[in-house]
Amino acid sequence: MKSFDAIVIGGGQAGPFLAARMVEKGMKVALIERKFLGGTCVNAGCMPTKTLVASARAAHVARNGAVYGVNIPGEIAIDMKVVRARAETVTMNARNGLIGWFAGMDGMTVIYGHARFEDPKTVSVNGETLTAPRIFLNVGARPVIPDLPGINDIDYLTSTSIIHLDTLPRHLAVIGGSYIGLEFAQMYRRFGAEVSVIEHGPKLASREDEDISDAIADVLRSEGIDIHTGVSDIAFARSSDGITVATDSARIDASHVLIATGRKPNTDDLGLDATGVITDKHGYITVDDSLATNVEGIWALGDCNGHGAFTHTSYNDFEIVAANLLDGGDRKVSSRILAYALYIDPPLGRVGMTEKQARASGRKIMISTRPMSRVGRANERGETKGFMKVIADAETKKILGAAILGIEGDEVIHGIIDAMNAGTTYPALQWSVPIHPTVSELIPTLLGDLKPV
């Protein structure tokens, strides 16, 4: 049996950085990864997909160049092999950077293999047994495949496998109208495929307010994406030239099907029964405000704990655990103000409460909206789709939440994120003097238009 000061299971966005911090403190650490260092973000999420989004935007801009006085003769052709290779290069550069970093780190042992618990302090991997007083789980999540009629009879894609496509689908049917599905839908439409989005719920991006969801749908429809919401029945069958997707309202002749109906944590094959660690009905590991499980000496970080399936929340999990265990801190998950983005084009930047949540909270609230068509930067760029929205507490004057669907919305939202984390009241933020011409310069104006509801 090999002994360590700590064992980290999973090489995503929390575990490796925590392992590195512990090594800096002189600890002996084992990092176990069953496949690739970097987790979903580096290998099948943010980095490859946003690289693909960038290629798709380049194609879109080229096709619409005449609007800006730039005439490109002939048809805009897409070389999917080059597109795929570019995304793969970005991934490999990041992955190899991690490999090199850890290779030069004394005290770090990287083990590739499938770890399983033998007891709360012991794990087995590749026929070896390792033990440590502290074990950190950063095992991530994977796509959920729903039990739909005919699904096992077709060759479907997931968010993991679609990034390896080097040919262009004739017609891509996207099952699921949430964040992952919508990004791929617009991406492949811009590459030149016909695209249909099929969503069980009554609207796209169901977490958002209805006006945001409607605006997202308008953006996608304006680019020729076929959207079906409120679909109660879906079935698949092979056809002579692809896959037939039959719903209660439509019949779609697709060449490829992307299943984007959510993700589930990779906790079902860890041997958690041998530890007594509690999970919820979906398999997420239950943790307290410091990310500790119910079993002493075991923590869960990242997607597997159900507290925000984002790279930035996973990294913040690392920051919380490192601060508390290594720096004498007292940081809490409950102090985190959730923010995220949807990377369609234009992007959606979101922070804090939605309008629906704010109204349900019983607070006296104020709301302001502004269309992107009244933003100078948006008009200059010729990208005026979407709008800005902010919600504030009428009594405390604190900002409760905001949504910016529009050009640079994923960057502009950070001004509001920072203000909310600093506890700044919206009247104070109104006195800032932002740079012109930017989208951010409209934040004080947006705040000045807050009205009680």
Task: Mark whether 22 and 125 lie in a shared domain.
Answer: yes
State the pLDDT confidence band at 249, using cuts at 50, 70 and 90. confident
Is residue 26 located within the same domain as residue 123?
Answer: yes
Q: Tell me the catalytic residues.
A: 436
Domains identified in the chain, total number? 3
What pLDDT is stored for residue 308 in this prediction?
Answer: 85
Per residue in 354-412, pLDDT tens? 999 999 999 999 999 999 999 999 999 999 999 999 999 999 999 999 999 999 999 99
Do 304 and 194 share a structural domain?
no
Q: Is residue 257 over pLDDT 90?
A: yes
C-alpha closest to that of 78 among 57, 99, 93: 57
107 and 224 in a single domain? The answer is no
Q: What is the pLDDT of residue 11?
A: 95
Nearest residue to 192 (alpha-carbon basis) of 349, 100, 79:
79
Q: What is the CATH number of the domain that holds 157?
A: 3.50.50.60
Which of 280, 304, 335 marks a domain boundary?
335
Task: Report the b/e string of 48-80 with b at 16+ CB within 10 A.
Answer: bbebbbbbbeebbeeeeeeeeeeeeeeeeebeb
* Cis upstream peptide for 346 (omega within 30°): yes
The reply to whether 347 and 305 lie within a common domain is no
Residue 54: predicted pLDDT: 98
The pLDDT > 70 percentage for the chain reads: 100
235 touches 150 (CB < 8 A): yes
Same domain for 327 and 363, yes or no, is no
Residue 164's CB: how many other CB atoms inside 10 A? 12
- pLDDT mean over 66-94: 96
What pLDDT band is residue 444 in, cutting at 50, 70 and 90? very high
- The pLDDT, as a whole number, for residue 254 is 98
Same domain, yes or no: 315 and 373: no
Question: Are 185 and 107 part of one and the same domain?
Answer: no
Rounded to 5°, the CA angle 357-358-360 comes to 65
Helix (H) or strand (E) holding 181: helix 179-191
Task: Give me the pLDDT at residue 359, please.
Answer: 97
Buried b (16+ CB within 10 A) or exposed e, 106-132: ebbbbbeeebebeebbbbbbeeeebbb
The CATH number covering residue 348 comes to 3.30.390.30
Looking at residue 189, its pLDDT comes to 98
Question: pLDDT by residue (tens digit) across 131-190?
Answer: 999 999 999 999 999 999 999 999 999 999 999 999 999 999 999 999 999 999 999 999
Residues 292 and 280 in one domain: yes
**Model confidence pTM above 0.85:** yes
pLDDT tens profile 95-139: 999 999 999 999 999 999 999 999 999 999 999 999 999 999 999
Domain with 10, as residue range(s), is: 2-142+264-335
Same domain, yes or no, for 11 and 126?
A: yes
Give the residue from 313, 335, 357 where a domain finishes.
335
Using alpha carbons only, how large is the chain's radius of gyration in Å? 24
pLDDT confidence of residue 127 = 96
Residues 319 and 351 in one domain: no
| In the predicted structure, residue 309 carries a pLDDT above the cut 90 | no
Q: Give tens-digit pLDDT for 11-56.
A: 999 999 999 999 999 999 999 999 999 999 999 999 999 999 999 9
How do 108-112 and 298-300 pair as beta strands? unpaired
Alpha helices in 303-369 (DSSP H): 311-326, 355-360
Q: Report how far residue 213's alpha carbon sits from residue 207's, in angstroms, rounded to the nearest whole number.
A: 9
* Whether residues 164 and 117 fall in one domain: no
Average pLDDT over residues 216-240: 97
> Where is the domain boundary, 235, 261, 287?
261
